[in-house]
Structure 1
Amino acid sequence: MKQHFLYRPLVLLAAAWPSLATAEDWPAPLQALEIQGLTIHERFEAPAGLTGYAASVQGRELAAYVTQDEKYALVGTLVDAQGNDLTSDRLYELVKKPQDAELWESLADSAWIADGDDDAERVIYTFTDPNCPYCKKFWDQTRPWVEAGKVQMRHIMVGILKQDSPIKALSLLAADDPAEALADHQRGNEISTFKKYPRDYEDALAENHQLMQSLGLGATPSTLYRDDGKLSVMQGVPPADKLETIMGSPAP
């Protein structure tokens, strides 16, 4: 089973995403919006003499439409005479889709423990604390898909719930067989802890915490998955009607 570590600093994705032009290239109203915290990503065509700009603020995507004389900007959703939304698809393609791809890569580069077949057709990331009873419940829920080889769960280990959570998380990451150690723990057995750990493991755990915080997630389990190609997040134990969506199919 694979055990993966991240050895580089993480940054909040919304802040890190590069703009395609400098502030000096944008019309004056957009430069004013940038001062207020907006990040402008890309220009796109719009009707009625307007020019659209895909932007984001605090991780949320939005659009700004600049008038032909470049003196004014309208921020929000543009609709046509039939009430069709002319904005959302543009924002998804120009902002959210590339940000989601970068986020998925950051999840893959974090310190996770594989639970399931490496060749499974579906991969799901979930933040897991060793002391979290809801993580245990979610682990139980996922057994049919994992044991059938349809889904690989990747448990991004964190230690946030109790004083001994970090030690337990480190012990699982540093185990000779992390996957078996995690499964053994979820079956109700005690974790074999160590007095000292290599610095790399401590750094990896700290970066997992930073990643979780940067995503605004405050509960375990917090699960990230793809639904029709779009990245979605579920905090807590999913209800039965949501579980099949997360796992990608009915229970085998």
Structure 2
Amino acid sequence: MTPLRLTLTLGAGIALATSLHATAGEWPDPIQQLQQQGLTIHGEFDAPDGLTGYAGSARGQTFAAYLTSGGEHAVIGTLINAEGQDVSAERLEQLVNGPRNAELWQEMADQHWVRDGDKEAPRIVYTFSDPNCPYCRQLWESAQPWVESGDVQVRHLMVGILKADSPAKAAAILNADNPGEALAEHYRNDAMPENQGDDQSEQWVSENTQLMRDGQLFATPATFYQDDNGNVHSVMGAPSPDKLRAIMGSDTP
């Protein structure tokens, strides 16, 4: 996955929806300026040294804005402590990613996806997968020990975003007699099922792709899992070994 880098300044013009979490007049003037430029402000949090933090998002990325003690200026960026830790990371997860991910989790359950693994597997993972995505293939391969153990089922929401033939391939996999086997064969050796997609499976791919866009997700794989407390977390791209273990819920299957 190629990460999307977004530089945000008070003078930037970004055509995004105005925040639904606050109306004009609720935030200090510099924060309202960010809203007027299309950035979404989700809430405020305490920050050190007289600063007030504001959790925001734009094009699927989270950011922190810090209001100075006088209330006349704001700066967007990463504020670190003496140990080099991002002081806003936990609050951004709570205020921005948590609610958004929880809503997506419910919506993904109602979509048409391809299950890899036992339907009785206790741990459920959702991921948006494009048939032409090498990182999706990498995630599928990395998950196999947990899938084969019966501990995890990975539900692949097939989308078509990377190449011109991605939607047709995704629809064909969804329309296969056994979509799980068709997906496995495709990721093992690039094989495609003999059948093609039909109007119904093409519609499913379109709906999955639209859900991905609505969730402001711009690359595959986009993977979601629940922790032990039921909080929903997301991982963009091929996960690191530590992230993979968090997604799968254990160090080893």
Q: Which moved more, 1:238-247 or 1:151-160?
A: 238-247
Counterpart for residue 98 of structure 1: 99
The answer as to whether partners of 1:62 and 1:76 remain within 8 angstroms in 2 is yes
The answer as to whether partners of 1:122 and 1:152 remain within 8 angstroms in 2 is yes
Measure how far apart 1:151 and its partner are.
0.6
Q: Distance in 2 between matches of 1:140 and 1:88?
A: 30
Change (3 A) 1:66 1:57: farther
Larger RCO: Structure 1 or Structure 2 (Cα < 8 Å, ≥ 6 residues apart)? 1
Counterpart for residue 65 of structure 2: 63
Q: Secondary structure at the match of 1:231?
A: strand
- Equivalent residue runs for 1:153-164 within 5 Å: 153-160=154-161, 164=165
The answer as to whether partners of 1:126 and 1:156 remain within 8 angstroms in 2 is yes
Counterpart for residue 206 of structure 1: 206
Match for 1:145: what amino acid? W
Measure how far apart 1:22 and its partner are.
0.6
The answer as to whether partners of 2:126 and 2:225 remain within 8 angstroms in 1 is no
Measure how far apart 1:193 and its partner are.
1.6
Deviations 1:7-35 (A, max 9, x none): xxxxxxx958731x311332222222222
Deviations 1:174-205 (A, max 9, x none): 234433443455565651224x723x432221
Change (3 A) 1:151 1:16: farther
The answer as to whether partners of 1:17 and 1:99 remain within 8 angstroms in 2 is no
Q: Which moved more, 1:42-51 or 1:85-94?
A: 42-51
The answer as to whether partners of 2:171 and 2:204 remain within 8 angstroms in 1 is no
The answer as to whether partners of 2:124 and 2:154 remain within 8 angstroms in 1 is yes
- Give the TM-score, by structure 1 length: 0.68
Change (3 A) 1:204 1:89: same
Change (3 A) 1:65 1:121: farther
Match for 2:149: what amino acid? A
Q: Secondary structure at the match of 2:25?
A: helix
- Equivalences, count: 231
Counterpart for residue 8 of structure 1: none
Q: Distance in 2 between matches of 1:88 and 1:122?
A: 26
- Equivalent residue runs for 1:4-153 within 5 Å: 15=17, 18-19=20-21, 21-45=22-46, 51-58=52-59, 59-65=61-67, 67=69, 70-76=71-77, 86-130=87-131, 135=136, 138-153=139-154
Higher Cα Rg, which structure:
1
Percent of matched pairs sharing the same residue: 48
Match for 1:152: what amino acid? Q
Change (3 A) 1:82 1:43: same
Q: Secondary structure at the match of 1:25?
A: coil
Q: Which runs of 5+ in 2 are unaligned?
A: 1-15
Q: Distance in 2 between matches of 1:18 and 1:164?
A: 36
Matched, 1:170 2:182: no
Change (3 A) 1:22 1:49: same
Q: Distance in 2 between matches of 1:16 and 1:110?
A: 27
